[in-house]
A and B are shown apart, each in its own frame.
Chain A
């Protein structure tokens, strides 16, 4: 605790400033950046940087070697696996349960191979 008292307030203010700059950068990229496919990875990268800064300095992980070397990476690994495996499953899923409308359930066949339903006046019988 005494160690905390010796820390410079300006250090925290500086990190807060970096967080503000990163937040503004996210907003600018989202509204005026037009990065296309890169929008999401860049936004996530900025978010991860901000998370790391908050965890390291405001949650004092930088002062806890054990937490920094073991708990933090293990937590990140578990989160990555939870999200990663769920996403891999979602990306490789065949959407049988929620098709894009009733037509998606019908196999599309060329008109020449289609048969008129029984009883239809256009159905030819005996040929």
Chain B
């Protein structure tokens, strides 16, 4: 045990300075709130994962396997709702953003600590209402709640709509808190050109959350009103327009893809620097491309609607706007690769996930340009090609970055190290399992297998079996991670203050940090991730 560890163990940490249940439930400490969010989103991931496995088992055979068609409709809806609204959107910003953003800025707290606590409870209330809807009678609309079916479906769509509506408030509050914290609570020396790129990513994400989420809230309320009171906003038999729902829904939900992916990109930037032992290549371009993606992402929602009856002119505009996103994404990918080039690569577990991320994002991104082409999308629309595409780009990137962040900041959060060898095995299993799960789905889609279908022709079975085998590998990998991380909480080696030798600002605090983050106010006198300085950061 080195001297810095001994020092940090002797002092109270955010974990042990108060240990009662009440002190956790009423905490205003951003780190505890981050941990609470982490527990909640991992629970959601587990729930969504169970639904995913049920779907894959059902699709093992061309006919009925373990459930009936109506149950299948409900299970894929619940899988989507849980994964999108309860896991992927809040996962990185709410859990890791809450934990490390103030540390990276040298702040003691977020700008509105009480509001921060409220965001956890609002999220929990929304999640509880959503799960209640699932248990009550489920929903069979898909996670997109498309009208007019969602306005007439006899299943429990309304509580799930309201649950998602409530979760939206949590998202808005979190975003508002991060924007204000970044503007007002930066430590001395932390001018705008020194802000860590993870913070830039969270900041860009927060702007999207604050601007777009109200539109989602509005459209969900309108669907609920149409179900309950029969107002004719979307129902064509009452003079409404179902395509209007798609416009309003995707105006939020397409930027929501970037609410998921931008924080993931922020995590990747941090990890790439730390394990390449090199400052980031093109700091300004990465920060600028974050806002490029955020801005253009708002104006590409119509690419979800190429076959909805939308005008050809509108489709053309949205197709071109969608392709622009690839430019900003490519800037980031080239900069990460350039950062690794010539670096002293330390192939630890977080960097393994980064490699998985870069592969999946590149592959998913290129298929994204393909499906933004209207003529190709008409062929692939609502097939497994689209399922594979969005799993690569959204789920792949969020999962890889989430796991990279979890492993990278685990010693910072809990002061313990995890077993590197087991973690490497799990990382390889998960990356391989992910590719085996979703690569066959590109082929299935290209062969014409529609998404959300319960049955399929028998010549498509081998690809479905392959996909289910990959999903089993994924489940095994996640089980392994759960086991060794829980094990490490009690039996893992005590971590030094900065086990990776990172130059990131968050490592200026002890691991785990004290209740007020820093023993003395930090002053950042060098660039973030400056590997030209030889010494490890001084722990304030």
A residues sitting closer than 8 Å to B (CB atoms) are 74-75, 78, 81-82, 85-86, 88-94, 96-98
Contact = CB atoms under 8 A, between A and B. Distances in A.
B211 A92 contact: no
B311 A78 contact: no
5 contacts: A74-B211, A81-B298, A85-B317, A88-B314, A93-B310
Contact of A89 (B211, B236, B298, B310): B310
Contacts of B311: 89-94
A65 to B, nearest CB: 14
A74 B241 CA distance: 28
A93 B215 CA distance: 23
B299 A85 contact: yes
A74 B236 CA distance: 33
B313 interface: yes
Contacts of A89: 247, 302, 310-311, 313-314
Given A78-B211, A78-B298, A97-B309, A85 B236 contact: no
Contacts of B215: 82
Contacts of B236: 97-98
Given A92-B312, A92-B313, 4 more contacts: A85-B299, A88-B313, A89-B302, A94-B311
Contacts of B314: 85, 88-89, 92-93
B184 to A, nearest CB: 12
Nearest to B211: A78
Contacts of A94: 311-312
B252 to A, nearest CB: 10
A88 B251 contact: no
Nearest to A97: B309
B174 to A, nearest CB: 18
Interface residues of B, number: 19
B309 A88 contact: no
Contacts of A92: 311-314
A114 to B, nearest CB: 30
Contacts of A93: 243, 309-311, 314
B244 interface: yes
Contacts of A82: 215, 251
Nearest to A98: B236
Nearest to A84: B299
Contacts of A75: 211
Interface in B100-131: none
Contact of A88 (B211, B244, B317): B317
Interface in B301-342: 302, 309-314, 317-318
A46 to B, nearest CB: 24
Contacts of B302: 85, 89
Most buried by B among A74, A86, A90, A96: A86
Nearest to A82: B251
A31 B336 CA distance: 63
Interface in B289-304: 298-299, 302
Contacts of A86: 244, 247
Contacts of B298: 78, 81
A97 B310 CA distance: 10
A98 B241 CA distance: 10
Contacts of A85: 299, 302, 314, 317-318
B300 to A, nearest CB: 10
A89 B314 CA distance: 5
Contacts of B241: 90
A89 B305 CA distance: 11
Contacts of A98: 236
Contacts of B310: 89, 93
A74 B179 CA distance: 15
Contacts of B247: 86, 89
A97 B148 CA distance: 13
Contacts of B243: 90, 93, 97
Nearest to A78: B211
Contacts of A90: 241, 243, 311
A61 B215 CA distance: 22
**Closest CB pairs A-B (n = 7):** A89-B314, A92-B311, A92-B313, A93-B311, A97-B309, A86-B247, A89-B311
A92 to B, nearest CB: 4
Contacts of A88: 313-314, 317
A78 B210 CA distance: 12
A22 B318 CA distance: 38
A74 B212 CA distance: 12
Contacts of B318: 85
Contacts of A74: 211
Nearest to B313: A92
A96 B317 CA distance: 20
B278 to A, nearest CB: 35
A81 to B, nearest CB: 6
Interface string B451-482: 00000000000000000000000000000000
Nearest to B301: A85
A96 B236 CA distance: 13
A94 B211 CA distance: 31
A89 B303 CA distance: 12
B80 to A, nearest CB: 24
Contacts of A91: 311
B54 to A, nearest CB: 35
Nearest to A74: B211
A42 B215 CA distance: 27
Contacts of A81: 298-299
A28 to B, nearest CB: 29
A90 B309 CA distance: 10
